[in-house]
Amino acid sequence: MKRVLSIALAAVLCIAAFAGCSSGSPATSAAPSASVSTATATLSGTVSTNGSTSMESVISALSEAFMEKYPKVTVTYDSTGSSAGITAASQGQADIGLSSRDLKTTETGLDTATIAIDGIAIIVNKSSKVTDLTLDQIAKLATGEITNWKEVGGADSPVVFVGREAGSGTRDGFESIVNVANKCKYTQELTSTGAVIQAVASNQNAFGYASLSAVGDTVTMLKVGGVACTKDNILNGTYKIQRDFNLITKQGTTLSPAAKAFIDYAKSKEAAPIIEKAGAFVK
């Protein structure tokens, strides 16, 4: 009796081990000649997105709305960083790569679809007295030329510069616009926008950069040259530190119907209020 029971249990365990293996192939068997009117009913499958941590709130909002519209579709999001997302798309590991920067000249064979504009907010700790910095001052703080906050109107305390890892779209945007590429002296290099906000919020000497869509009220956003980081200033271009949110796909591969529908949805007028609610802006 005991032997039979233990063999049965072992068999159940083995079967349970296989439960974790799912097919997960995005190219489902939806017939290509399905007419548009039945598209809503037959659209199914998985859309895998991978990349920018700054785009998290926008992609979550879009996925939720999209999955409500097409209940049989699942949209997944891996938060790995813009460069990782671009690599994943070009190697076919994800349907859509998410990038909060434009493609470099070395990144070939990829298509870009811009779905939103995002501001990169310069954030300081809530206890900081500094409210406004020029681009030049920000550059000097980033490269380590200014080492004490009192030089820019703050308290007499050392400057701590918190930034992102080398493959980050946010870092790329910040460094290219402020013109400090390869010259920054970081005190911390963290791997997500949320981590930067958390680090700045918990250190009174810290300043850093993060996606506007992720900044809440745990930190203070600085004005750049007198211009606040708001929707109007980003859309009319007076707030200089901004970048596009892009969906990256590999050229030459046929996307699954679900993935194609997701990209079209994200670019459509329907999605604009959803994107704006999530914190980014649509032109």
Partner 1 sequence: MRARNLTEKVMSGLFLVCGMISILAVLGISLYLIISGLPAIREIGLKSFLLGQVWQSTATDPKFGILPFILSSIAATFGAIIIGIPIGLLMSVFLSKIAGAKLSSVVRPAVDLLAGIPSVVYGLVGMIVLVPAVMSVFHLRSGSTLFAAIIVLAVMILPSIVSVSETALNAVPKKFEEASLALGATKIETIFKVSIPAARSGIAAGVVLGIGRAIGEAMAVIMVSGNVANMPKLFESVRFMTTAIVSEMSYASGLQRQALFSIGLVLFVFIMIINVILNKLLKGGNKNEA
Residues of the shown chain interacting with partner 1 in the complex, contacts defined by CB under 8 A: 80-84, 86-87, 157-160, 165-167, 182, 186-191, 198-199, 202-203, 205-206
Query: In the block, which residue shows the tokens 């598209």?
Result: 39
Taking Cα atoms as reference points, which of 150, 109, 118 lies closest to residue 252?
Answer: 109
- Quote the least distance from Cβ 111 to partner 1, whole Å: 19
- A 10 A CB-CB count for 221 gives 18
Decide whether 196 or 261 has the Cβ nearer to partner 1. Answer: 196
Decide whether 78 or 132 has the Cβ nearer to partner 1. Answer: 78
- Quote the least distance from Cβ 54 to partner 1, whole Å: 15
Decide whether 54 or 256 has the Cβ nearer to partner 1. Answer: 54
CA–CA distance, 63 with 39 (Å, rounded to integer): 18
Decide whether 26 or 167 has the Cβ nearer to partner 1. Answer: 167
- Quote the least distance from Cβ 83 to partner 1, whole Å: 3
- Quote the least distance from Cβ 21 to partner 1, whole Å: 21
Which residues pair with residue 75 across a beta bridge?
Answer: 47
Decide whether 168 or 213 has the Cβ nearer to partner 1. Answer: 168
CA–CA distance, 58 with 116 (Å, rounded to integer): 9
- Determine contact, residues 73/257, Cβ cutoff 8 Å: no
Decide whether 81 or 279 has the Cβ nearer to partner 1. Answer: 81
* Amino acid in position 33: S
Decide whether 69 or 104 has the Cβ nearer to partner 1. Answer: 104
- Quote the least distance from Cβ 253 to partner 1, whole Å: 19
- Quote the least distance from Cβ 78 to partner 1, whole Å: 9
Decide whether 42 or 187 has the Cβ nearer to partner 1. Answer: 187
- Quote the least distance from Cβ 29 to partner 1, whole Å: 32
- Determine contact, residues 201/219, Cβ cutoff 8 Å: yes
- Quote the least distance from Cβ 160 to partner 1, whole Å: 4
